[in-house]
A and B are shown apart, each in its own frame.
Chain A
Amino acid sequence: MVSNETEQKVISANELLTNYGHAIQGGLDTGAKYLKAFHTLSETQDGQALLSAAVELTNFQLNSDFVTFPHQFSDEDVQLIFFERLLTLADLGTDFRISNAERVQKLLCKFTSLGDQTFTFTKSTKNSDGFFFGPTMHNRPLFYIDLKNKELMFHGSALINYFVVDLEGVDKGILKGVLQLLTQAAAELKEKFGFKVDFNVLDSVNGEFYAFAAGALTDSVMDELFVKSAENQFILMTDGIGGASLTLDNGIKVTVTDNGKPDRPKWGAMVHDDQQSENWLYLLLDYPFIKEWYLNNQKQLEILSNQFVFG
C-alpha cells in the first residue's frame, strides 16, 4: 500500500506537466475554435455559414480552468452582430447600425432614422438559446429570436406600445420604414433559412386573424368603434352575425369578428387589402381614430402573442 502510494505520487508528478500542457493546449484550441467562428461571423459572405457561426458562438464555453480570456463578446452581442450582418448580406439598407462598436461587450444598435433610440438583445430566462430584441430603455421585447431552433416571433402589443404610443409624433413614414426592415429581416430568415416566423401584428397577408386578448368583446367597445368611424366619415357595417366591417381608404377592409365557438368566443380583427401591405400595426399608424379606439380599450383589444415565450 505504502509503496503503491509512493509510486502513484511519482506518476502524478511525471504527468503533471503533460496534463498541464494538455489543459493549456485544450484552452488554446477552444480559443482558436472560438476565433475561427468569430471570424466567420464577422467576415463570411455566406448566410448559412453566418448562421452556423452565430449558433456555435452562442453559449460558447470559452474559458477553462487553465485558460481564460478577459475580453469576450456576450451571447447578446453575438445575436446583434448576426442580425446586423444578416441585414447587410440581404442588402436591406443602411438604417440599422451597431452604435457603440468602440467597446467590446454589451453592444447596442440604432436605427439611424429613429435618432438616439438604442436597442439591444437580452437573453431569455427560460431558454438559453432564445433572445429578446427591444429598446434599451424599456423592458419590452419587440421580437424573440432563437437561432438554434430557427424561430422568430414578434410581440404584437409591445410593438404597438413602442411604435404607436412611445414614438407618437414621429413621422409614420419613418416608423413604417423601421418596421419594414424588421419584417424583411424576418422574411429573409423564413425564406432563406427556414425559420418559423410569427409576424403577429406585422402580418400583412389577407385573412391573418389578429386575436384580441378579451375573447369576447363588450358591446360598448364595438359601439365606440362605430361612433368614432362615423366621426371620420367611415361607416361600420354589421355582418349580420354579430361582427362588423369597415371599409377604409383605397379599399382597405377591416373586419372585426368572432372566430370562436358559441361557448368559447374568440374575437379578433382581419385586414384585407389588394396589395396585402396593410397590417394591424400600420392601421393604427394610418388611422388615428382606430388607434384611439384601440388604446381606450387596450385591455380587451390587446393582440395576443405567444404567451409562453413572452409571458
Chain B
Amino acid sequence: MERQMETDQFGQNDAQLSSALNEKIHYLTDLNDSLSNGDDLKVYQLMDPQRYAGELGTDSDAPIAPDHFNLASDLTAQLSHHLSNKLIDYLGTTYPFFYYHEYELGRFRIYFGNWWDHRMFGELDPINVKFNFDEDAYKILASSFALEANNQRVNDDAMKQLGEQNERITKLISEQDSRDKRKEAVRAKLKENQEKSPMPWEAGKVKEERQQLNDELLQLTQTDEEAANGRATIKENENKILALSKEETILSLEKKNIRASFGSFEAFIDNNDHLYDKYLESLTQESQVSDGE
C-alpha cells in the first residue's frame, strides 16, 4: 500500500529529474556557446534573466527564462574578466575620462583621468554593469559641483585661512626689530620701577605698573618665539596650500571632463543609474547591425 502510494506520487520523478538536468545542461551549453561566440548580450540574459527582462522589456509576453546562474556563480571572476572587454570598449566612448586597472582577475579599479595624481574613483562591476564609486571621492566631487553654483570651491576657506596665517607670521617676522626696541624700553622702565622707593600710598600703583610691564615683556617674548618658528610654519602651510590647490585642480579637471561628455553632473548621474539598460541596448543594436550584414 505504502509502496504503491509512493510510486503514484513520485512516479514522474525520473522524468522530471532528467528534464531538469537537461535544462541545466542546456543552460550551461547556452552560456558556454554565448561566451565562445562573443554574444555578451545573451550572457547577460543568462546571468540574470529577471533583470534582463525587466529592464530591456522588449517582449513582455515572452516567458522569462529560468535562472540557473547559481550553476556558474563561482565563475564570476572569470565571467567578469570576459565581459569587461566589450564593456570597457563601450565605456571608453561614453566615459572617456575613466581608466581601469584590473588589479586581480575580474576586478577593476576606476581612475578618473590620466593626469598627474588622478584619483582612484572606485570599482567597475562588469557582471552588474555598474560603477561602485568610492564614497569619499564621489562625495567631494558632488560638493564641488554644488559649491560651484555659488562660485565657491571646496578648499576656498581652508586655503584662505592658511594664506592669512602666513601673512600674519610674515608680519611678525618683519616686526622683530621694533619688538626688540620695545623690549629694551620695557626693561628700562622695569629697572626704573624697581629702583623706586615709593611712599606707602604709592606702593600699589608702582606694583601695578610693574605687573603691566612684566605682562608686556612676556607677551613680546611669546611673539618672538612664534616668529622664530614662523618660517617652518610658513613652509608647512605652503605645502598644505599646495595640496589643497592640487585637489582643486583635480576637481576642476573632473568637472570639466564630465561636462564635456554629459553636459552636467545630473546627466552624468542619470547615465550611471541607467548604465545596465543603456549598455545592453547598445549590445542589442550592435547584434542587429551584425545580423543585417
Q: Which residues of A contact B (CB under 8 A)?
A: 219-220, 222-227, 230, 235-238, 240, 244
Q: Is the CB of A238 within 8 A of B115?
A: yes
| Among B116, B117, B242: residue with most chain A CB under 10 A | B116
Q: Is the CB of B242 within 8 A of A238?
A: no
Q: Is the interface of B mostly helix, strand, loop or mixed?
A: helix
Beyond A220-B239, A220-B242, is A227–B249 a contact (Cβ under 8 Å)?
Answer: yes
In angstroms, Cα B252 to Cα A226, docked, is 13
Q: Is the CB of A238 within 8 A of B249?
A: no
Across-interface contacts of A225 in B (CB, < 8 A): 116
Q: Is the CB of A226 within 8 A of B114?
A: no
Q: Which residues of B contact A (CB under 8 A)?
A: 114-118, 239, 242-243, 245-246, 249, 252-253
When the two chains form the complex, which single residue of A223, A235, A237, A244 contacts B246, counting CB atoms closer than 8 Å?
Answer: A223
When the two chains form the complex, which single residue of B114, B118, B239, B242 contacts A227, counting CB atoms closer than 8 Å?
Answer: B242
Across-interface contacts of A219 in B (CB, < 8 A): 117
In angstroms, Cα B241 to Cα A220, docked, is 11
Across-interface contacts of B115 in A (CB, < 8 A): 226, 235-238
The 3 tightest CB contacts between A and B, nearest first, are A226-B116, A236-B116, A230-B249
Q: Is the CB of B249 within 8 A of A226?
A: yes
Quote the shortest CB–CB distance from B247 to chain A (angstroms).
10
Quote the shortest CB–CB distance from A253 to chain B (angstroms).
15
In angstroms, Cα B239 to Cα A244, docked, is 20
Across-interface contacts of B117 in A (CB, < 8 A): 219, 222-223, 226, 238
Q: Is the CB of A244 within 8 A of B116?
A: yes
Jot down 10 A-B pairs with beta carbons below 8 A, ordered by A. Answer: A220-B243, A223-B242, A224-B242, A226-B116, A227-B249, A230-B249, A236-B115, A238-B114, A238-B115, A238-B118
Instruction: Name B239's closest neighbour in chain A (CB-CB).
Output: A220
Instruction: Name B241's closest neighbour in chain A (CB-CB).
Output: A227
Beyond A226-B246, A230-B252, is A238–B116 a contact (Cβ under 8 Å)?
Answer: yes
In angstroms, Cα B242 to Cα A153, docked, is 37
Instruction: Name A238's closest neighbour in chain B (CB-CB).
Output: B116
Instruction: Name A244's closest neighbour in chain B (CB-CB).
Output: B116
In angstroms, Cα B1 to Cα A294, docked, is 99
Instruction: Name A245's closest neighbour in chain B (CB-CB).
Output: B116
Q: Is the CB of A222 within 8 A of B242?
A: no
When the two chains form the complex, which single residue of B114, B116, B252 contacts A223, counting CB atoms closer than 8 Å?
Answer: B116
Across-interface contacts of A226 in B (CB, < 8 A): 115-117, 246, 249
Beyond A235-B115, A238-B118, is A223–B253 a contact (Cβ under 8 Å)?
Answer: no
Q: Is the CB of B253 within 8 A of A235?
A: yes
Q: Is the CB of A237 within 8 A of B114?
A: yes
In angstroms, Cα B252 to Cα A237, docked, is 15
Across-interface contacts of A244 in B (CB, < 8 A): 116
Q: Is the CB of B245 within 8 A of A227?
A: yes
Across-interface contacts of B118 in A (CB, < 8 A): 238
In angstroms, Cα B243 to Cα A144, docked, is 41
In angstroms, Cα B242 to Cα A220, docked, is 8
In angstroms, Cα B118 to Cα A240, docked, is 10
Across-interface contacts of A237 in B (CB, < 8 A): 114-116
In angstroms, Cα B249 to Cα A236, docked, is 11
Quote the shortest CB–CB distance from A197 to chain B (angstroms).
34
Instruction: Name B243's closest neighbour in chain A (CB-CB).
Output: A223
Given contacts A219-B117, A223-B116, A237-B114, 4 further A-B contacts (CB under 8 A): A223-B117, A235-B115, A238-B116, A238-B118
Quote the shortest CB–CB distance from A266 to chain B (angstroms).
20
Q: Is the CB of B246 within 8 A of A227?
A: yes
Instruction: Name B238's closest neighbour in chain A (CB-CB).
Output: A220
Quote the shortest CB–CB distance from B118 to chain A (angstroms).
6
Quote the shortest CB–CB distance from A150 to chain B (angstroms).
43
In angstroms, Cα B54 to Cα A248, docked, is 50
